[in-house]
Amino acid sequence: MEATTPTTKKHNGKKKKNVFQKLWENRVFFLLVTPGTLFLIIFFYIPVLANVVAFQDFQYSENGFIYSLFHSPFVGLQNFLFFFKSADFWIVLRNTVGYNLTFLLLNFFFAIFFGIVMSQLRNRKLLKCYQTAMLFPYFLSWAILAYFIYAFLSPDKGILNHIIQAFGGKPIDFYNTPAVWPFILVFLGVWKGIGYNSILYFATAMGIDPTYYEAAMIDGANKWQQIKNVTLPHILPVATLMLILNIGGIFRSDFGLFYLIPRSSGTLINVTQTFDTYIYRALTSTNDIGMSTAAGLLQSIVGLLLILVSNAVVRKLQPESALF
């Protein structure tokens, strides 16, 4: 017969806790996460059910949205097909993907660059000044910046046109000149987000154990070799994670940048129209809720697929840097 110790008897006699007992024991932690959970359920998960509108010829009724949702005719993929066949689809796709790829590459490079540069500064007062100056644009609304940009680009009283005329040039009507806007939008997008994007890399670089740099200096490594062999390898996992998340948003765009900054100029539609501005204009001008919902659902589906694919590639090449 197998011997039974007191510890074993105590273990065998211990009752297994049910779900409610576990919830009660951890009630403080569940109480802390309840507001965030409710927020996600109410504003993110419940509205997902309304995506059925993308497959309907939605007709709003006086009886309310819920009644309209259940009584609008089902049209299958017709809204998607109508969107794909429209003349605007390829313009919207080109602009959205093109701008986002440009932002992705430039923000990725400059964010890492400035994060590393700031981590190398030893004057704390100077570092705080640089951080404040770089972060300040991020907290400004595009609605406010639109007025500042107009003050620079206005065809009549714009500061930039005054400078051009002072050097003997002719004033440029920027809001009717599509060729210059890709450069303006890219510059503004990078300028506004560079401070915020660099914070994570700066924090990662500051968290590196100083003994790594000391060992590198003992081996005779200069500053560039220290960054190449110590800083960059430590930043790489975080950079890979952020790259995966940013790839997932490649079909989305900053509405304020592409709608408010060009002042919704019809002349600039071909270079400023993205998925988000297209959805807004479709709702306000044609009131086509079905097609607008189809375009928004397409953004989400493609974004999810891009995250899954990019994460699978990273997991295969560098498992420790994968998102999941």
Q: What is the mean pLDDT of residues 118-141?
A: 86
Burial class (CB in 10 A: 0-12, 13-18, 19+), 93: middle
Q: What is the mean pLDDT of residues 179-207?
A: 91
Reported pTM: 0.82
Measure the CA angle with vertex 273, ends 272 and 277; round to 5°.
Answer: 115
Please, are residues 145 and 231 in contact by the beta-carbon 8 Å criterion? no
Closest C-alpha among 256, 268, 253, 254 to residue 153: 268
pLDDT tens-digit series, residues 53-63: 899 888 888 88
Residue 22: CA atoms inside 13 Å, Cβ hemisphere, count?
Answer: 5
Measure the CA angle with vertex 91, ends 85 and 97; round to 5°.
Answer: 115
Judge whether residue 247 has pLDDT over 80: yes
pLDDT band at 14 (very low <50, low <70, confident <90, very high): low
Model pLDDT, residue 147 = 92
Model pLDDT, residue 5 = 53
pLDDT tens-digit series, residues 91-110: 999 999 999 999 999 998 99
**In the chain, alpha helices (H):** 6-12, 19-25, 27-40, 46-48, 65-71, 78-85, 88-119, 124-135, 142-153, 159-166, 181-206, 210-218, 223-226, 232-248, 255, 269-272, 275-281, 289-317
Model pLDDT, residue 260 = 92
pLDDT band at 9 (very low <50, low <70, confident <90, very high): very low
Judge whether residue 8 has pLDDT over 70: no
**In 72-180, alpha helices (H):** 78-85, 88-119, 124-135, 142-153, 159-166
Residue 222 has φ and ψ, to the nearest 5°, of -80, -175
CA distances from 182 to 95, 104, 280 (A): 9, 15, 21
Average model confidence (pLDDT) for the chain?
A: 86
Radius of gyration of the chain (CA): 27
Model pLDDT, residue 121 = 82
Q: What is the mean pLDDT of residues 262-278?
A: 89
Judge whether residue 15 has pLDDT over 70: no
What angle in degrees, to the nearest 10, is found between the helix axes of 88-119 and 124-135?
170
Residue 72: CA atoms inside 13 Å, Cβ hemisphere, count?
Answer: 23
Judge whether residue 13 has pLDDT over 80: no
Judge whether residue 155 has pLDDT over 90: no
Q: What is the mean pLDDT of residues 311-323?
A: 85
pLDDT tens-digit series, residues 197-243: 898 899 888 888 889 888 988 888 888 899 988 999 999 888 888 88
Least confident range from 71-75, 202-206, 308-312, 318-322: namely 318-322
Closest C-alpha among 240, 231, 232, 236 to residue 209: 231
CA dist 140 and 260 (Å) reads 13
DSSP, residue by residue, 130-142 = HHHHHHGGGGS-H
Which domains, ranges and CATH numbers included, belong to the chain?
78-321 (1.10.3720.10)
